[in-house]
Structure 1
Amino acid sequence: MAEKEQSVGRWQKEFFENIHLFKRSGMTEEEAKKILQKFLYLSSVTPMPPAMDVFKDPNSLEQVGVYTAPEEKARNFMIEFLSPIMKFFTVEGIENLAVLKPLIGKYPLTLISNHLSHLDAPAIFQLLYHASPEGRSVAEQLVFIAGRLAYEPDFTRLGLYMFGTLLVCSKRDMADNPSLSDLMTKINMRAFRHSQKLQSEGKIVAIFPEGTRSRDGRLMPFVDTVYHYVANKVVLPISLEKTDKILPTTSLLFNQVAGKLVIGKPVLVGELSRKQMESFPKHIEHLPFPEHGDKKQFLIDNLALLVGQNLNKHQHGIYRNLYSADSRDQNKLIRIPKESKEKIVIIGNSSMGIAIATILANKDVLVKVYHPDASYTSQSDEERRDLKNYSLYKLPPNLTFTSDPEALKDATLFIQGTNPWEIHTVYPELQVHLMKNKAPFFNVVKGFTSSGLILDDLQQALGIEDDRIGVISGASYPDQIMERKISGFEIAAANESLIPRVQKLLTTGYIFPRPAIVPTDYKGVQLGGALKTIYALVMGIVEGYFNQTLGGNVDNSLFHLSNRFFNEMVKVGVQMGGRPETFQGLSGLTDFMLSCFGTDAKDRKTGYDIANGRPSEKMSNGFYGLKVMPNLMKIDPEEVPIMYAAYEAVINKKDVRKVAEMMENRLSRV
């Protein structure tokens, strides 16, 4: 709301352009002009609520309190004003209001909703009010939790008088105003106590658990302070779509959009008193606290699911991986299967290993991520998120973490998900299990070890048979897989009959795997993924160098060189044992192009930083691969001038400008 300009001059210039919207809704020009003038007038004369006086005089808190009652005149006008604007909104789940109505006044009730716009609270009131007689009863009992900043802009303050409000202060507000933090803490404590009093009187407390508006429409983490407002209460989940399109933050022009409000089924969260439980209706869903683990986090996560279950899948945000991607037409939560079709162990916690784990969890399988760090696995398991790579994303219940090597004993499929420089810390205790359990062993991590390809090293060290070996690779960022953006893989295996099984496990609504061009060339598929990291690093160096020396757009140079880079990569790959045609597939050419020109390509970024004198402290697959390359082949400047130049600049730390000029000279006569 702070983004809104409050200058009356701007209102006068822009605001009256809204007249066209009201005319389209059936008003005459005079009627439309009159209602807009009235909105401006009421907005300018509507005062700050008395509760805000506490920031001028902290000693007045006991006297003014934190509650602001609705104002009938403002309510009636806003209902009239919003009606044409929200003309195309629909309400679903109206039947759930009839279920809720008998509970009003008998049990503590809390309404929760996702938060998209500063108009969300007025929109919820407006839509419920007109939905049905039961909806009107619910709307008239609403008391919204409102942050201090919500009251400040004249433009939006009027809508807050449609219903009761309780003043609270967010953690961010407290951090930005440390001198007021003690006062704000007192305000929050008083607001909670007052909410309990209001609920005992039959009011319905309404809260936005995200704590602030989502700027992209996707669910954000629910804040832990919401816990006290929902624990041991009956919760009515509301899901909003498109309210952020009614009034964009950069404009004062309203839009008529086809939005939606979905009313979920009421749910009892936690427990009521013994007396209340005796009379509580048995048909109301119940979400009890777990016997073990973090009860607060469990409750908060499940509230997000209650709201998210009625949202479009693209709005699920950090909770998106909790829903089955195989169910395209409905929001179906991933559950722990009664009978698991596979028991899959991901060995290691690289970003790609975790991303693959979330894909596999869409099936009726059990997925375990193994890592020897017991502290990491225990905390990740308890908090239902990977603390190393993706601490924001919530993970489904059939994906767990373990530091116990015994987890490998009954696995039906192993996924190698360890970065090459971490293999020596992850695998020491696993050899006996990998030799006894003959389950297939597929690698998903790109790069070289100090002595060769990842699978070659592990086969030799652990005694894994050829017919168990396979590789999954392609042009895909693990970060975007976690966001459920469409991606694909190629699959190759020494035993070609394993490919359909793995392909089926990986196929979801956003992942489209296929056999490699040469299905049995698992070495070539590995080499494509491993070598491209090195050449992407070089491309980043070249781009950084050209931007410094030439300036402006250097696409001509980069795309011309990409052809030379790719040809050299294929040459090296064939010399190291890959089939030439394999490099034309997803794991070769397509992955090469993504890594060299993709905006999120880590190796390209690392190279760019090196060229600009900012070497990365974080290891990348390309950097590590280049470092160990002399162990694998002779880096001859006549045979592989691009790799030679990269080695000189990155590992031997020669002057980038001189190395680039040397490479240009060699390429001009190769």
Structure 2
Amino acid sequence: MTQDSTSLSQPPVPHQPLTLAILGAGAWGSALAQLARYNGHTVNLWSRRFGNSLEESINAVDVLVSAISMRGVAVTAQQLQTLKLPEKIPIVTATKGLDPDSTRTPSQLWGNWFPQHPIVVLSGPNLSAEIEQGLPAATVVASENLEAAKIVQTVFASNRFRVYTSSDPMGTELGGTLKNVIAIAAGVCDGLQLGTNAKSALLTRALTEIIRIGTHLGGKTETFFGLSGLGDMLTTCNSALSRNYRVGYGLAEGKSLEQVLTELGSTAEGVNTTNVLIEIAHRERIPVPISWQVYQLLNHQITPQKAVEALMERDLKPEFYDR
């Protein structure tokens, strides 16, 4: 066996082995745990389902990773505040969503509760089922603290998982969050069998919409053309492994939202994100025509067919114009 083939079959020699606490043992948390262990790190995987101690899970850890659903972030963070989290360790948020009470992103919530800790956002085109199969993938770790981002980069980077750093946590986080809304629309498009032309138009205009929202809220334009923006959107909008895509597809088949969610048996963050996004868009006066149709569809105000008609019948205008 050649040296090159050996390097592809074996994990790289890790930097100094670290101990991680990964909060959330769902598909994404488990995939991240697998990636860290592949590099020789110790992982304390915590879940309410396990009934294991949160206090013991965070004891003497070097990095804390939050892979819990959006609805569990506030409760878990408040519980952590009553415990002794090791000082100044990086807190990595891998949750894609918006808080319905404050309309904040997960990184904003963690930063507010733990201001003395560097906050790192991990987001990218990462379908957990493919990662657990050992298929190659790439992601972004973003933080205002570049050293913290580099630590997280070395924890997860391997010959099957390429990790890039970024100094734009807000853009990185919003790209991964907002694409879940678009994935629902993409599922509707495929479920109605509207064809490749229609879907290409949808995704292109959706990227424009995401950039409009994301830059208004503080993200950098170029971030949305990267892995955590366009890359994540393309993955999520084209795979039946995506729960949000399956929500849209199921609605297009005539199923109720409640039926679709029951069949999924797990959280589709795009549903909550859509409702919070519309609240933000109204408050900030941001035009979001695609997200608005998804919102109406999820809230039983319109049929999938009428949502498509509404988008097609909008006023004619140039493709690009100064806002």
Aligned to 1:661: 309
Aligned with residue 481 of structure 1, among 97, 119, 131: 131
The answer (yes or no) to whether the contact 2:31–2:128 under 8 Å persists in 1 is yes
- State the 1:328 CA deviation: 4.1
Alignment of 1:147-546 (within 5 A): 328-329=8-9, 341-373=17-49, 376-377=50-51, 402-433=52-83, 437-450=87-100, 451-460=103-112, 462-465=113-116, 468-515=118-165, 519-545=166-192
- State the 1:514 CA deviation: 1.4
The structure with the larger Rg is: 1
CA distance 1:668–1:476, shift in 2 (3 Å): farther
- State the 1:596 CA deviation: 1.3
CA distance 1:330–1:415, shift in 2 (3 Å): closer
Alignment of 1:31-50 (within 5 A): none
The answer (yes or no) to whether the contact 1:409–1:433 under 8 Å persists in 2 is no
- State the 1:530 CA deviation: 0.2
Question: Aligned to 1:418, what secondary structure does the other structure show?
Answer: coil
- State the 1:432 CA deviation: 3.1
Q: Report Cα offsets for 1:476-506 as digits up to 9, x if no partner.
A: 1011000000011111111112222222221
Gaps of 5+ in 2: 1-5, 319-323
Percent of aligned positions with the same letter in both sequences? 22
In 1: Cα distance, 2:19 partner to 2:32 partner: 14
Q: Which amino acid aligns with 1:345?
A: A
The answer (yes or no) to whether the contact 2:121–2:173 under 8 Å persists in 1 is yes
Aligned to 2:297: 649
In 2: Cα distance, 1:331 partner to 1:660 partner: 47
Aligned to 1:639: 287
The answer (yes or no) to whether the contact 1:636–1:644 under 8 Å persists in 2 is no
Aligned with residue 579 of structure 1, among 210, 220, 225: 220
- State the 1:645 CA deviation: 1.0
Aligned with residue 199 of structure 2, among 547, 552, 558: 558
In 2: Cα distance, 1:667 partner to 1:589 partner: 26
CA distance 1:355–1:571, shift in 2 (3 Å): same
Q: Which amino acid aligns with 1:598?
A: S
In 2: Cα distance, 1:502 partner to 1:444 partner: 12
CA distance 1:420–1:576, shift in 2 (3 Å): same
Question: Aligned to 1:562, what secondary structure does the other structure show?
Answer: helix
In 2: Cα distance, 1:494 partner to 1:350 partner: 28
- State the 1:443 CA deviation: 1.2
CA distance 1:637–1:659, shift in 2 (3 Å): farther
- State the 1:360 CA deviation: 0.4
In 2: Cα distance, 1:486 partner to 1:633 partner: 36
Name the TM-score, length of structure 2 as normaliser: 0.85
In 2: Cα distance, 1:638 partner to 1:453 partner: 17
In 2: Cα distance, 1:557 partner to 1:621 partner: 25
CA distance 1:629–1:454, shift in 2 (3 Å): same
Question: Aligned to 2:30, what secondary structure does the other structure show?
Answer: helix
- State the 1:657 CA deviation: 2.1
Question: Aligned to 2:142, what secondary structure does the other structure show?
Answer: strand
Aligned with residue 622 of structure 1, among 270, 282, 285: 270
Question: Aligned to 1:361, what secondary structure does the other structure show?
Answer: helix
- State the 1:329 CA deviation: 4.7
- State the 1:607 CA deviation: 0.6
Name the TM-score, length of structure 1 as normaliser: 0.43
In 1: Cα distance, 2:224 partner to 2:252 partner: 28
In 1: Cα distance, 2:47 partner to 2:25 partner: 7
Question: Aligned to 1:633, what secondary structure does the other structure show?
Answer: helix
- State the 1:609 CA deviation: 0.7
- State the 1:637 CA deviation: 9.7
The answer (yes or no) to whether the contact 1:416–1:445 under 8 Å persists in 2 is yes
In 2: Cα distance, 1:562 partner to 1:637 partner: 22
CA distance 1:564–1:636, shift in 2 (3 Å): farther
The answer (yes or no) to whether the contact 1:525–1:583 under 8 Å persists in 2 is yes
In 2: Cα distance, 1:650 partner to 1:529 partner: 20
- State the 1:603 CA deviation: 1.1
- State the 1:353 CA deviation: 1.4
The answer (yes or no) to whether the contact 2:187–2:248 under 8 Å persists in 1 is yes
* Cα RMSD after superposing both structures: 2.8
Relative contact order: is structure 1 or structure 2 higher (C-alpha 8 Å, sep ≥ 6)? 2
Q: Report Cα offsets for 1:210-248 as digits up to 9, x if no partner.
A: xxxxxxxxxxxxxxxxxxxxxxxxxxxxxxxxxxxxxxx
Q: Report Cα offsets for 1:234-266 as digits up to 9, x if no partner.
A: xxxxxxxxxxxxxxxxxxxxxxxxxxxxxxxxx
Q: Which amino acid aligns with 1:531?
A: L
Q: Report Cα offsets for 1:409-462 as digits up to 9, x if no partner.
A: 3111011111102224534421133665321011122222212211112322x2
Question: Aligned to 1:654, what secondary structure does the other structure show?
Answer: coil
The answer (yes or no) to whether the contact 2:138–2:161 under 8 Å persists in 1 is yes
Gaps of 5+ in 1: 1-325, 378-401
CA distance 1:605–1:479, shift in 2 (3 Å): same
- State the 1:520 CA deviation: 1.4
The answer (yes or no) to whether the contact 1:405–1:429 under 8 Å persists in 2 is no
CA distance 1:559–1:330, shift in 2 (3 Å): closer
